[in-house]
Structure 1
Amino acid sequence: MTVQPPTPFPQSPADERVAFDRGELGTILTLYGRMVAAGEWRDYAMSFLKDVAVFSIFRRTAEHPLYRIEKRPKLRNRQGMYAVIGMDGQILKRGHDLRTVLRVLERKLIRAVE
């Protein structure tokens, strides 16, 4: 009979959180870097909660976010799990593909560079 040693940090289902994977973060940070270079954005924050992962974008550090990029896996089979939400809480774009959803922010980059 083999006895497994206890794990130092046991994971319970209540501890599971939604997070962006490496590819999703790469896509978001590529856009973020271009907007920082254009002088539009200056700071970001990430939150990983039980039902949603949020990437918040700020123009300055101590203010409300300009945009929130959210990932809600429970909406995968409905409207799509990705959404870009504006400062006023309005959903600017929602969909199944992150790159497609982020295009709403890339249009703002084109205006900033002109």
Structure 2
Amino acid sequence: MTDQPDLSQGENSMRDGSSVVDLREYQRNKDPLPVTFHRRELDAILWIYGRMVGEGEWRDYAIDHLKDKAVFSVFKRSGEMPLYRIEKNPKLAAKQGAYSVVNVNGMILKRGHELRQVLKVFDKTLKLVE
């Protein structure tokens, strides 16, 4: 006989005061999932990318899923700095908007709450040439 109370079958506690933790739950809490683009977001981005490739403006891209943001980078040549970065930062969703387009110099060209509106920065306007 011991002074310790009897443990029921459903409890995850050990007799020494430690507890049993599910390994998957521990990993999820320790390493949160990275921010990613959803399918509809990627469709919108890749539609613009395909149009710009067809025009000869862009040639390569890279996608980065980081802890705090997701980044779609576009390149003129694969060995250079990205011409543009399309970023999704959920922490800014309530403030300035989660989506932004950043140029090679780091200047934010457009920011907003809706990705399609932000991507309009790549729409070319017709200019009158005299």
- Fold shared, TM-score > 0.5 on shorter chain: yes
Counterpart position of 2:113: 96
| 2-structure distance, mates of 1:6, 1:79 | 37
User: Residue 92 of structure 1: CA displacement?
Assistant: 0.1
Larger Rg: 2
Aligned residue number for residue 51 of structure 2: 34
**Structure 2 spans left out of the alignment, 5+ residues:** 1-8, 11-21
The two structures have a TM-score, normalised by structure 2, of 0.75
Q: After the TM superposition, which parts of structure 1 deviate over 4 Å for at least 4 consecutive aligned residues?
A: none
Show structure 1 runs of 5+ residues with no match: none
CA RMSD of aligned residues (A): 2.2
TM-score (norm 1): 0.85
| Count of equivalent residues | 108
Higher helix share: 1
Shift of 1:34: 0.5
Identity of aligned residues (%): 52
Q: Could you say which residue in structure 2 is the equivalent of 1:25? A: 42
C-alpha deviations, 1:46-76, integer Å up to 9, x for none?
A: 0000001000000001000000000000001
1:51 corresponds to? 68
